[in-house]
Every structure is written in structure tokens, then in C-alpha cells.
Amino acid sequence: MSTSPGHEKIEKTLNDNKVVLFMKGTPSFPQCGFSARSVAILKEVGVEFDTVNVLEDDEVREGIKVYGQWPTIPQLYVDKKLVGGSDIMMEMFESGELKTLFSN
């Protein structure tokens, strides 16, 4: 199995937290419009989530792109599985799928 930089840190985060948003900045101070939108969606759904600010850790910033083979940030993980970026989150929010995902 290939390991990327930051692989272990990412795995530990995902093991410890059910809902994780890898984002630029923090929920209070997002550093990118797409990250801000993702936080807003999760708050609207009302789920508890943890965030990782990739701008504070270059290994995680690069590693997360390799980890789920997804080249952009933000990225939402639920139960260690990549759900998608902000477009997919928005689509799933509008269709109600996101709410269903968290109610299970």
C-alpha cells in the first residue's frame, strides 16, 4: 500500500472523528469561499463535525489529495469515507441526501 505524506495523521483523524471536513481556514475564519460554503451546509444540516485546517499542515494539505484521490479542498469525510467536495455537498444538501446520510 502506498503512503502519502501525512497519511498517518489523516488516518488517525478519520479514526477519531465521524464527520470531518478538510478545509482552508477554520469554521469561524474560512480562507476560501468553497470551504465557507461547506461549513455553512454542515451547520444548516445541524450535524456535529470536526475540521482540519489544511493551511496549517503542508503534509496533510498534499496528503489528503492523494488519500482519497481528490485533487481539491474542501473534502468531506463521513465514517472514514470520502463523500465529496463542496459541489457534491451542495447537491446532496439540496436533494436531502445529506440529511439522510447523517440520520443513519
| Binding region for another protein (CB under 8 A) | 34, 69-72, 82-88, 91
Q: Residue 39 Cβ, how far from another protein at the closest point, in Å?
A: 16
Q: Residue 31 Cβ, how far from another protein at the closest point, in Å?
A: 13
Question: CB-wise, 17 or 35, nearer to another protein?
Answer: 35
- Name which of 47, 51, 49 is nearest 102 in CA terms: 47
- Name which of 7, 5, 8, 41 is nearest 23 in CA terms: 41
| Beta carbons of 55 and 24 less than 8 angstroms apart | yes
Question: CB-wise, 9 or 37, nearer to another protein?
Answer: 37
Q: Residue 56 Cβ, how far from another protein at the closest point, in Å?
A: 19
User: What is the total residue count of the chain?
Assistant: 104
